[in-house]
Amino acid sequence: RLSTSTAGIFPSTSIPPHHLLDAILSPSSATPNTAPLPILTSQFCSSYPQLSQSQKLFTLTHLVRNHGVDRKSLERLCFSPTNPAKLRAACTPKYEKLFSTILSSTPSGMQTIVSIRCDVRELKGENRELDELDFNMRAQLSNWFSAGILELRRITYDSTPASIIETIAKKEAVHPLQSLDDLRSRLGGGRRCFGFFHPSLPSTPLVFIHCALVPSMAATMQEIHDQTGTEMESPSAAIFYSINSTQPGLAGVDLGNFLIKRVASQLKTLFPSLNTFATLSPVPRFRRWLLNKTSQEGKFAPTPEYIFGDAVAMENFMAVSPPPSSVTPVEHLITVLEDNDSKWYDNPTLVHALEPILTKLVAKYLVLEKHRGKPVDGVSKFHLSNGAELHRINYLANKTRKGYQTSYGLMVNYLYGDAKTIDDNHSSYVRDELVVSKNIKDLLK
């Protein structure tokens, strides 16, 4: 357990932040010399960001232990007749008052709260008592950042403030920017970028999405580059190819789902010709999964049939790239894929032989590898839970260094249908039934 002593944690010349918390949350402990509540709150908000990680851990743990749910009172109320209002009040942590006070007392209160949640998420591994605080903060933030409150804005190179464009550039994690021209192309022509903004954080895009307006469902990033130099008059497909969050403190708050649906609705209004809404998504942990899977030994080791899909695919691969006598086919496959010198993707014969092997492996990873009935792949979990269909696996769709390092270049289309289809697909997902296309089912045979 964390020590309750502050010796060596806070300088003796400053007011420890947990003392400020006590004064804010326990007015009965105030003295005639105690500063007014807004001043105390402002002092806490000013001092908190300057704390070290160990100081933040101590302060947040103090908040949970001393200003959380009064468990003794709650237990007493549970076993004695009482009215619902008293029981509800007893279930409410005292520290909830801190967040409402921060919001009403400081102009940057919302950013402070989001930053505190970010710290809670980082530090709860060192003290599981912070799990409760994390859960309650997420619930409060979900209310404060509900879809009806958020403002949808289009991001453009010419009209959006430079500070917002800089945030978009820095936070792009799916397809890192290559140049200023690359940034311009993503914000104009046949492409669009939209972001969600909160009234309390008007200069901060909370989450943003890039999409391309193209003739049909794009299978590769190269198609998007080639088809979006200028805006089409009547595009048929809107392809969402990158979605990024800028605020780690809002993890678990459902922003991306609402953003996709709001953007799709707006695009349909602007371009009535659109009849397909889909993603071109990465499979960021596929390579790591395959390396872990093939390194397992004994009864956990995958069979060659599982890795290669069928005997024909394995024979074709070995005919193109014969393995040494002392090496198994699975070991040789991994050696070829991981050889940075020979670069299998520059060898047309190997590219052809590996296509059925890798596409089937991605299908198995996305559909069969689950945790508690849900996909282990985070991107797949996000889109399928939102009501999309796992529609198509695209071979060599991302021929960048990052694309090869994360998924051997493969990407996936998730298809979003009409409102009823999305609702039906979401219901299937809740029942642990993944909605996949016939193409994907065929890969799993």
**Is 281 designated active site?**
yes
**Count of C-beta atoms within a 10 Å radius of residue 254:** 15
> Two tokens at 51?
């704390």
Rounded CA-CA distance 211/205 in Å is 16
**Is 383 designated active site?**
yes
> Two tokens at 35?
């500063």
Catalytic residue among 42, 245, 281, 380: 281
286, 410 contact by CB (below 8 A): yes
Rounded CA-CA distance 214/438 in Å is 24
Rounded CA-CA distance 23/232 in Å is 61
Rounded CA-CA distance 165/244 in Å is 14
Catalytic residue among 67, 175, 198, 383: 383
What residues are annotated to the active site? 281, 383
